[in-house]
Amino acid sequence: MPTRELTPPARIPAPWRSDPYADAVSAGRGPLFLRRTDGWMLPLEVERWCAEADPSDLTVLDRCHGPVIDIGCGPGRLVTALAARGHPVLGVDLSPAAVDRTRRSGGTALCRSVFDPLPGEGRWGTALLIDGNVGIGGDPAALLGRVARVTAPGGLLLAEAAAADVDERVEVRVDDGRGRTGPPFPWARVGVTALTRYASRAGWYAAEQWAVSGRAFVALRR
C-alpha cells in the first residue's frame, strides 16, 4: 500500500512577533492599534515607546529601588534610562524586534514571557508594568500573582492603569490600520479601581497613586 506524505500543519504566527508590531518597533513609528473583535481600536504609542523616557516616565523611574525588572519592556526606553542611573535592570518581552532594539540601545533584555522562568525570581526589588502591560495574558489577577513571585519580599510594583475606569478582558489583534493584522490574543484593560482590587487579591496593597499628563500610575507593595 503506497504511503501518503503528510503536509505539516501551517505555523500560526505568535502575537508581537511576526505581525505589524515587529515592523513598527523596527521602524520606530506607527500607526498601530489593538483592535477588538467588535472593531473598536486602541491607538498604540509606538513613537513614544521608541523615544527616550519622557517626564511622565521619570515619575516612575524616580520611585524605583534596587534591581528592576521591566515586564513587557518593548523597545527598552525605561531599561536604558534605568541603566544610565546605575540600576541593575532587565527587560523582558515576547517580541524579538523589541528585545533587539533594547539591546542595540545598550539595555539588557530577554525574549521571554513573564510566565516562563525568569532570572533572579524572588529577588527583584522593583517590577514595572507600564504602557498597558497590566493587560498581559488577559488576566490581571494571574499576572499580579505571578509578579508577586518574581519580586523580593517587600518588593515594589509600579503599574500603569488605564486612564478610564474600566475593567475588561477582551480578544484583540495588533492592527496597522492599513489592512494588516496579527493573530488574536487575550488582553485586559483595567483602571485604577480594578487594578487595586486585583492587586489586593494577589497580596499587594496600594502604597501610592498619581497621575501625570493623562496617565495613571499605582505603586504597589507586597
Per the DSSP assignment, residues forming a β-bridge with 5 are: none
pLDDT of residue 18: 63
pLDDT of residue 13: 55
pLDDT of residue 19: 85
Task: Annotate the chain with three-state secondary structure.
Answer: CCCCCCCCCCCCCCCCCCCHHHHHHHHCCCCCEEEECCCCEEECCHHHHHCCCCHHHHHHHCCCCCCEEEECCCCCHHHHHHHHCCCCEEEEECCHHHHHHHHHCCCCEEECCCCCCCCCCCCEEEEEECCCHHHHHHCHHHHHHHHHHHEEEEEEEEEEECCCCCEEEEEEEEECCCCCECCCEEEEEECHHHHHHHHHHCCCEEEEEEEECCEEEEEEEC
Any idea which architecture 54-171+185-221 has in CATH?
3-Layer(aba) Sandwich (3.40)
Ranges of residues in the chain whose predicted pLDDT is under 70? 1-14, 16-18
Residue holding cell 505571578?
Answer: 146
Is 0.85 topped by the overall pTM? Answer: yes
